[in-house]
Chain A
Amino acid sequence: MLQLPPTWAILAAAPLLPMILALPAAAHVSEQSFVLLLPTGHYITSGVIAVLASILLISATPARVVEALFRPLPLGLPTLPDWVRTAISTISAIGLLMLLYIGWSGPRDPLVNLLPLVIWVGFWIGLFSLIGLVGNLWAYLNPWIGPYALLRGRLGQPPALPESLGTWPALAVFVLFFGFYMADPAPSDPDRLAVVVATYAGLTLCGVLIFGPTWLQRCEAFTVLFDLIARTSPFGATRADHLGFPGWALFKDAPVRLSTAIFAVFVLAAGSFDGLKETFWWFARLGINPLEHPGRTALVGSTLIGLSVSFLALLLALAVVLWAGRAIACMGEAQPKPALRRLFCWFAPTLLPIALGYHISHFLVTFMIDGQYLLAAIGDPFARGDNFLNLADIRVTTGFLTSMGSVRVIWLTQAGVVVVSHILAVLVSHRIALHVFETPRRAALSQIPLGAFMILYTLFGLWLLASPRA
């Protein structure tokens, strides 16, 4: 059974959606030209110092304070009745069918057709970020749980999925999804995307009808993803009638399954490589002149290799850091050390705030531009010349990328999000260490390698933002 956020969390999020979508619009050369004129070196130093300070501060903070910080308050609010979720999900399913129709039959321009705009801008960029900030809206918005609830009476008792399956299928699907998003030559092509979305939605519906909602929790990539990402929000993901310091659920809901822990690592690795693959540094590795960008078709193989290497490298780095932390914490102590696998399942989710921060930061500019195209397409969804809410008259502007003042504000916002996300990861990780390593001293010692890792990752994230990109 899916755990749902309370009514008021949904209601609180609703007004945010249009606000976020109404922000002004694409990463172009000119924006990067201005970024290169900014004193990013100073900004990066400040960001790294902030993360270092947070590590020292939390290490010196009494354990009971840290524990109190991550203890959520019960809100005592009623959860929404099931029919609300069924209704929202069913509307979502009908909306998806309309989008698929538009994808197949509508305009071929990916910045005019509503399907790619909703999938990439509304869903991938917008909903991902929103869920990380306010809680697991996907539990309502997914297009399968409603149709399942409506058809449940006609279905027999679903067979159980084997426990050993874990969330490995969802991880496999998510890897495929990222491969498509990152390496496919034309992931925004409307009818190509329509085929991909329809295939996935159809297969998932079959899975849900046969195996029940458990299918979503094990095999549906976005259910697993958003359940993880929602844990960084003040409302958590699975105890959403509680409110607490952002990330409290990363502790409360840990340890996770091994497959889910690896899923969390992949989310950060893929998001990081998504940024890295645009840098001149990466093009230099490929021996390609970024000013004569050969197009995505020429980069399919290198992108998939880069994605795989990033994933393996981050897995290895986390394992080494946890191993070293355990060694330092337990040095000279006779009692048995916690198993590395157990540590991995505790600590891997602490990377999720960073993944969320990277996501928001990486896509901010794209969202500001393509969000305008999305609004215009909502104004004329069938490309018939309609003009709902006067939205279709929006003329997309990127002027905010060609003025030093606005570029500085955008850059500092991106950098701020990256820094805050690392600080959050440091705090959550320390809270978990207090639990796993039992004494404040051992907890603090265990965090030395992870802290160094966080500092380096902050440096990497800010370097990504400041680097010349194609």
Chain B
Amino acid sequence: MSNRVSKSTITRRTALKTLAGSTGAGLLLPGLAGGAFAQESGPIKLGFQVHRTGIGSAYGRWYERVATAAIARINDMGGINGRQVEMIAEDDGTDPRRGAEVVERFANLHNVDAVFGPLFSHVVIGAAPRAGELKMPYFVVSEGHHVASGALNRYTLQPGITDVKSQVISMAPYVAENVGKKVTMIFPDFAFGHDHRDFFTDAIAAQGGEVIQQIAVPPTETTFTRYFPSIPRETEVVYHVMVGPGVLTFVREMGEFFGGQGPALFGFIDSLEAVDIASPGLEFLEDSYFWEGMPRYAQPDQTPHEAAYRAAVGVDENGASIDDPRDVSTYAHMFGVWETLAVMKAGMEAAGYQGPDDRQSLIEAVEAMSDMPLSDDHPQGDKVFNGRTHQVFGKQSISRVQDGKLVRVHQTSIEDTLYEDEVDYTAQSF
């Protein structure tokens, strides 16, 4: 096993070196480099709120890797408005209260221009109000519905990743048409599972299908055989979104229960993000369907933009680290960091951003965005940003497990993912 990095990919160190060389800043000491004197002549400073420790750390590690690569790319292209970009990472411990403290540090100690990065919904919900109070542009990469639902504020945006509501509802047309109309849902009995239950139940009904049974499993459950007999006989599709340490046991027990004769399986890759599909025990997943935000395995029609992104973040055609083929990335989600940074750059350029006094202009510039075509900035695909709801919309993928790999069998349209606006943040004052 090699820990060494190939010459073509970016590490934190090489990114730092590039930045130091180009700004002449030399040693970057975030704790000391704060203060107004650095503004407008020094680098643009972006605060990266990262789940370095706590339950989000597996995601945090990949989010950090993508953020480092994305910022190195931006700096290679000349930075933002002619200034290099410096990333200051703060660990929030995947802890809502610490998330709020981190936002305060970014505002008061580091005096950053904007903050990006948090993923876990409860952390975003805990920290976003503070960002609003401090008038700090807060770019979340969370896929939660909390931004578009209107629960947050004018300073919080989600322009780099689609939300769970649009993901779930866009699955319904394909499932009803190609997989089955009678659906049994098995989901963990807390907010994450309830979102899936509520969004999908309505969406499949709109397609002429029906959720005939909802099976809520207590989140701490580690054996599942007693739930399977509750699946009605006439079920055509089992929709499952289990997460947590029991997930492999769930898949195995479900496979053993049906013995290859049961209904079709449809799941969200969140269950198996960063887990090798070819792992022992997962052979029962052969032929089953998964939502993917971005296909983990390089597809035959992979765009040059995605290929460039894979290379930049150091991920191979199986979605694993080029340094260790067992180290599977959080590929379905982490592109959101890359695209968020691209949007932040575009927003700052559109706003003619100079310093913290222009934070409001930055928000307005992003709100004014709409079409974001497939490009090196948006390797996951075309997007449409809704400035009123602060939420981006994009195509979703449905993949099928074939020979232990995920093969895309369908890509939704952006229209499939849209729903009525639930808020107009632009009507809120700054």
The verdict on A459 contacting chain B, using a C-beta distance below 8 Å, is no
Residues in chain B near residue A303, CB distance under 8 A: none
Residues in chain A near residue B190, CB distance under 8 A: 289, 291-292
Give Cα A291–Cα B27 distance, bound, in whole angstroms.
40
Main secondary structure of the interface of A (DSSP, over half): loop
Residues in chain A near residue B5, CB distance under 8 A: 393-395
The verdict on A189 contacting chain B, using a C-beta distance below 8 Å, is yes
Is there contact, CB below 8 Å, between A385 and B13?
yes
Give Cα A295–Cα B100 distance, bound, in whole angstroms.
12
User: A398-B58, A402-B326 are contacts. A383–B89 as well, Cβ < 8 Å?
Assistant: no
Residues in chain A near residue B11, CB distance under 8 A: 392-393, 395
Residues in chain A near residue B281, CB distance under 8 A: 37, 404
Stretch at the interface among A109-117, A198-206, A230-238, A413-421: A109-117
Is there contact, CB below 8 Å, between A384 and B27?
yes
The verdict on A439 contacting chain B, using a C-beta distance below 8 Å, is no
Contact string against B for A residues 104-137, beta-carbon threshold 8 Å, 1 for contact and 0 otherwise: 1111111110000000000000000000000000
The size class of the interface chain B forms with chain A is 35 or more
Is there contact, CB below 8 Å, between A29 and B96?
no
Give Cα A400–Cα B328 distance, bound, in whole angstroms.
10
The verdict on A372 contacting chain B, using a C-beta distance below 8 Å, is yes
Is there contact, CB below 8 Å, between B1 and A468?
no
Is there contact, CB below 8 Å, between A186 and B279?
no
Is there contact, CB below 8 Å, between B219 and A399?
no
Contact string against B for A residues 382-418, beta-carbon threshold 8 Å, 1 for contact and 0 otherwise: 1111110010111111111011101000000000000
* Shortest Cβ distance from A105 into B: residue: B29
Is there contact, CB below 8 Å, between B280 and A404?
yes
Find B52's partner among A24, A32, A33, A111 (CB 8 Å cutoff). Answer: A111
Residues in chain B near residue A297, CB distance under 8 A: 95-98
Is there contact, CB below 8 Å, between A295 and B54?
yes
Is there contact, CB below 8 Å, between A105 and B32?
yes
Residues in chain A near residue B326, CB distance under 8 A: 397, 399-400, 402-403, 406
Find B248's partner among A33, A185, A394 (CB 8 Å cutoff). Answer: A33
* Shortest Cβ distance from B245 into A: residue: A32
The verdict on A191 contacting chain B, using a C-beta distance below 8 Å, is yes
Give Cα A351–Cα B5 distance, bound, in whole angstroms.
44
Is there contact, CB below 8 Å, between A384 and B245?
no
Is there contact, CB below 8 Å, between B93 and A295?
yes
Give Cα A269–Cα B231 distance, bound, in whole angstroms.
45
Give Cα A295–Cα B56 distance, bound, in whole angstroms.
10
Residues in chain B near residue A28, CB distance under 8 A: 57-58, 274
Residues in chain A near residue B20, CB distance under 8 A: 384-385
Give Cα A24–Cα B247 distance, bound, in whole angstroms.
25
Is there contact, CB below 8 Å, between A468 and B246?
yes
Is there contact, CB below 8 Å, between A292 and B97?
no
The verdict on B28 contacting chain A, using a C-beta distance below 8 Å, is yes
Is there contact, CB below 8 Å, between A291 and B243?
yes
User: A112-B12, A372-B3 are contacts. A29–B90 as well, Cβ < 8 Å?
Assistant: no
The verdict on A152 contacting chain B, using a C-beta distance below 8 Å, is no
Give Cα A37–Cα B28 distance, bound, in whole angstroms.
46
B145 to chain A, nearest CB (A): 16
Is there contact, CB below 8 Å, between A380 and B13?
yes
Residues in chain A near residue B88, CB distance under 8 A: 108
Contact string against A for B residues 241-256, beta-carbon threshold 8 Å, 1 for contact and 0 otherwise: 0011111110010000
The verdict on A284 contacting chain B, using a C-beta distance below 8 Å, is yes
Residues in chain B near residue A186, CB distance under 8 A: 91, 93, 98
User: A104-B31, A109-B90, A290-B220 are contacts. A30–B54 as well, Cβ < 8 Å?
Assistant: no
The verdict on A280 contacting chain B, using a C-beta distance below 8 Å, is yes
User: A105-B31, A191-B31, A295-B93 are contacts. A470–B276 as well, Cβ < 8 Å?
Assistant: no
Contact string against B for A residues 5-48, beta-carbon threshold 8 Å, 1 for contact and 0 otherwise: 00000000000000000001010111011111100000000000
Is there contact, CB below 8 Å, between B3 and A185?
no
Find B188's partner among A107, A291, A393 (CB 8 Å cutoff). Answer: A291
Is there contact, CB below 8 Å, between B90 and A37?
no
Is there contact, CB below 8 Å, between A402 and B327?
yes
Residues in chain A near residue B89, CB distance under 8 A: 107-109, 112
Find A290's partner among B27, B65, B219, B252 (CB 8 Å cutoff). Answer: B219
Within 8 A of B (CB), among A415-436: none
The verdict on B122 contacting chain A, using a C-beta distance below 8 Å, is yes
Give Cα A141–Cα B89 distance, bound, in whole angstroms.
32
The verdict on A245 contacting chain B, using a C-beta distance below 8 Å, is no
B161 to chain A, nearest CB (A): 20
Contact string against A for B residues 1-40, beta-carbon threshold 8 Å, 1 for contact and 0 otherwise: 1011100000111101100100000111111100000000
Residues in chain A near residue B27, CB distance under 8 A: 382-384
Give Cα A217–Cα B397 distance, bound, in whole angstroms.
64
Give Cα A291–Cα B249 distance, bound, in whole angstroms.
16
The verdict on B211 contacting chain A, using a C-beta distance below 8 Å, is no
Find B95's partner among A29, A33, A296 (CB 8 Å cutoff). Answer: A296
The verdict on A94 contacting chain B, using a C-beta distance below 8 Å, is no
* Shortest Cβ distance from B4 into A: residue: A393
Is there contact, CB below 8 Å, between B244 and A291?
yes
Which of B4, B13, B50, B326 is packed against the most chain A CB atoms within 10 Å? B13
User: A36-B245, A107-B30, A399-B327 are contacts. A280–B220 as well, Cβ < 8 Å?
Assistant: yes
Stretch at the interface among B150-158, B316-324, B365-373: B316-324
Give Cα A111–Cα B245 distance, bound, in whole angstroms.
24
Which residues of A approach B to under 8 Å, CB–CB? 24, 26, 28-30, 32-37, 104-112, 185-186, 188-189, 191, 280, 283-284, 289-298, 372, 379-380, 382-387, 390, 392-400, 402-404, 406, 468-470
**Extra inter-chain contacts (4) besides given A30-B275, A108-B90, A397-B327, CB under 8 Å:** A36-B246, A297-B97, A468-B245, A470-B55
Which residues of B approach A to under 8 Å, CB–CB? 1, 3-5, 11-14, 16-17, 20, 26-32, 50, 52-55, 57-58, 61, 64-65, 88-91, 93-98, 105, 122-123, 188, 190-192, 219-220, 222, 243-249, 252, 274-276, 279-281, 314, 320-321, 323-328
